[in-house]
Each structure stands twice: as structure tokens, then as C-alpha cells.
Amino acid sequence: MRCYNCGAILTKRNSCPGCGADVELYKKIIVVSNRYYNDGLEQASVRNLSGAIRSLRECLKLNKANIDARNLLGLIYYEMGEVVAALSEWVISKNLLTEGNIADDYMDMIRNNPQKLDATNQTIKKYNIALKYCNKGTLDLAVIQLKKVLSINPRFIRAHLLLCLLYLNNGNYAKAKVEAEKTLKIDTGNVMASRYLQEATEMIVPGDESEEEIAEAKEEVVRYKSGNEMIIQPKKTASLRANFPIWGIGLGIALGICATYFLILPSKLQQAGTTNQQTIIAISEESDAKSAQIVQNETEIQSLQEELESLKSQISTYEGTDSSMAAVNNLMEATAIYLSTPSDIDAITAQLDSLDLNAVEGSISNEFTDLYDSLMSHVGSELAVSYYNTGYEAYKNEDYETAITNLSKACQYDTTNVNAFYYLGNSYYNSGDTDNAKVVYDKVVTDFPNTQSAQAAEAKLAEINNASN
């Protein structure tokens, strides 16, 4: 143990041998902190993660520089699916001890795994979306999001607990019990999971027995709740009440079946096998004839296919030359207009609209691509504004076809304009194209979170999903 003031190694005396500071209270604090750490370590070893977190937090309140406690707390958070909280603890630990700190290995384990980082980001986004659905009352959508979260990170305790609570709210007590049990397998000391499990169990298994239930028990029946219904079914008994005459009849029937099986059935099977063999031979001869005809047809088809491919290659060569020349001419004309009159956006737009990059893909040169990218870096933002204004006016005038055409180009030239994406989604939605509308709305929610457009897009998505259900 070192002095908090000068860093000297302390002895059994209550004063520091280096600076003379009074360290009696300091020693007691460190001892209590270490006790909390040992308690947290012991609870973590039996998977009482919630209890371990409480003990380790108390330990760090008394001694924030306890590196072992902080690293262990990060490991527990990571085991519970709280990757962000775990990284926070390890970063603090690294700042307190820069050399020889195992927290480096823990952080490298996550940073060097891009798939793990992406899965963590997706988990956080989808869990937050589920919380928003819960706040808005769309609980079915929240359940779907939570299932996606747990498919990515099955150890995320908060998602298990929220899904369990939603199942309890919906009256699906069997599934709620399963989620609570999954949580307790990860964290045996989780109070909320135990509470949810007790609630679900009470709704499935009967509670206080009434006189009617006692009478039913005497009649050897089982009574339990499933949802809002009470199910009553007889118990299965293993006792057999038989007497000799019944067994005699059963034994006679069994002997008759055995005689049929060993004496009569073999001859019947042999006769059926002979008939089937003759049928198989006839079918085989017919199949051989048809196979020969199929081989001949396949040869002819292959010859025709090769001839067709040759003609297609010749046609594509001619078409590619014309398309490439047209694309080059359009790009050169647009560049010339920009060099002479940079403000003539309409003329530049007209030339670029005629330039079809998809038609010349694979046949254009690097110089063509460089010139196109350079021109876009100068006029791309202005083109995006022009297309957005045109598309937005068309959207307001309910000309959704024109709006879709122009807003799509605005999104192409400026991927940061959330309004362009939102109104594009509305245009698809109002025109009846709900599939493309869902794609655009989902992009708004994912790429532009915490915006009014994202909130409006979520509402539209919920409306589309409810309509489809």
C-alpha cells in the first residue's frame, strides 16, 4: 500500500514514513474497498452479476484507482451485453495505469473485430428503436426489434428483461417465463428477472387452492392458467388394471398377427415384388428412349445457344461503341459549359441528364471517370439543390412521378440532405409504392437519427406495417 500524498510504501504505523501524513483513515478506506472487491469477485464467480456490480461500484467509490476492480467491472458489463459500459471502464483503467494493464487486451479484442463493432452498433440502434416503439405504444414492433437485438447479442440482459415485460403485458406468460429464465442463466442475482419469473409462474401455475380445486385434485385432475383461460385436464396414471381374461384375448390377437406376418405376408411380398420388377423394366426401356431423344435435343440447343451468344457479343460491341461515344460527348459538353459559364446550371443539368453511366459501365476509361468526379465536386451541390427544389415543388403539387425523379437525383448528388430522402419516401408512399417507401424511410431512421424527419419516418413505417398486418 502506498501513501496517497507522496507515493511512499506505508508501514504498520499510522503515519507516512516519507511525508509524515496521517494515513490511519486512508488505510481503513483501502481495506474496506478491498473487501468490496473480494465480495464482488466471489459473486461474479457464481454468476451473481448484479450483486457483483453493486459490490464493485462500492469498491470504486472508496478507491477509484483500484485497477483490478475496474477491469473486473468492465468484464461483467461485457458479459451482460453492455459493451459501451465495459469499454468506458477499461478506458478509465487504461488512463489510470498506462503500462502493463490487461485492459489493453480487452479493448483490442473488440477494436480488432470489425464485425463485433458493427454488431454492437446495430444492437444499440435497434434497442433504442424498440424503446421508442414502447413509448409510442406500438408494442408489437418493439417485440420484433428486441428479437432482432437478441439474435445479434443473445446475452444482452436489458433486452431480455424488456422483452419479458412486453410478454407479461401481452399475457404471453410462457414466453415471459422463458425470457426470465434466460436472464437468470446469465445473471443469477438479477432481481427484476426473478420478479418477472415469479409473476409469470403465478399466472401459469395455480396459486391458492379453493375448495373446488381441492375437489378436482381428488378426482385426479390438473388445473392451470394459460393466458386468460383456465385449462383442466386429467392426470396421466401409470397404473394398469387388468385381469386374466382380457390378457388372454390380447395374447390370442398377438399370436394371430405374428402368424400372418411370418406365414402369409412373405408370399404376398414376393408376388408384389415380381409385379413391380416387370413394371420397372418397362419404365426403364421407355426412359432410355426418351433419354436418347433428350440428349439429341440438348445438343441442338447448345449449338443454337453458342450461335446466339456470338451474335449478342457482336451486337453489344456495336452498342457499346455508340453508348461510350455518346457518354463522352455529353460529359465534354457539360464540362465546356461549366468552363465558359459556370452559373448556367440548367445547361449543365441537361447534358448530365443525357449521360447514362450504367450504359457504358465497364467500357469507360480512368480519364473519363476522373473528369466526371472533378466536375461533380464543383457542381454536384448546386445540382442537388436544383433537383431538390424542382422535386419539392412537384411534391407539393402532388405530381409524385416528377417528384420521385428529381428527388432521387437530389439524393444521388447530396447524401446528407435528410429532407430530400424524407420527401422522396413520402412521394413513393403517396404514389402507392410502399415497398420503395419503406426502404427510404428505413434509411432516414438509420442514417439521420434524432431528427424530426426520422421520427416522422418511424410513424410512416408503423402505419405501413399496421396496414400490411
DSSP label of 10: P
Does 317 score more than 70 pLDDT?
A: no
Query: At 222, is the secondary structure helix, strand, or coil?
Result: strand
pTM to 2 decimals?
A: 0.43
**Is the Cβ–Cβ distance between 460 and 441 less than 8 Å?**
yes
- The arithmetic mean of pLDDT across residues 74-93, rounded, is 90
Task: Indicate whether 164 pLDDT > 90.
Answer: yes
Average pLDDT over residues 145-159: 90
**Model confidence band, residue 355 (pLDDT cutoffs 50, 70, 90):** low
Cβ neighbourhood burial of 70 (10 Å; 0-12, 13-18, 19+): buried
Residue 235's pLDDT band (boundaries 50, 70, 90)? very low
Per DSSP, 360 falls in state G
User: Is the pLDDT assigned to residue 40 strictly greater than 50?
Assistant: yes
State the chain's maximal CA–CA distance in angstroms: 113
Distance CA(104)–CA(123), nearest Å, equals 24
Mean pLDDT of 283-294: 68
pLDDT of residue 225: 44
Structure confidence at residue 109 (pLDDT): 86
Question: Would the pLDDT of 167 be above 50?
Answer: yes
Q: Which whole number is the average pLDDT over 156-182?
A: 91
Cα–Cα distance, 125 to 146 (Å, whole number): 11
As a whole number of angstroms, the distance between CA 327 and CA 413 comes to 18
406 near 390, Cβ under 8 Å?
yes
- Contact by Cβ (8 Å): 404, 424: yes
**What mean pLDDT is reported for the chain?**
77
For residue 214, is pLDDT > 50? no
Percent of the chain, pLDDT > 70? 71
For 8, 10, 257, the CA distances from 17, given in Å and listed in that order, are 7, 7, 99
pLDDT in tens, 426-441: 899 988 888 898 899 8
Q: How far is CA 433 from the centre of its chain?
A: 26
CB 44: neighbour CB atoms within 10 A? 20
437 is written with which cell numbers? 417507401
Least confident of 16-30, 69-83, 308-322: 308-322
pLDDT at 195 over 80: yes
pLDDT, residue 239, reads 40
CA distance 79 to 91: 17
> How far apart are the C-alpha atoms of 243 and 223, rounded to whole Å?
32
Q: Is the pLDDT of residue 297 over 80?
A: no
CB 3 within 8 A of CB 23: yes
Q: Average pLDDT of 169-193?
A: 90
Q: Check residues 321 and 438 and name the one with the higher pLDDT.
A: 438
pLDDT (mean) for 73-87 = 89
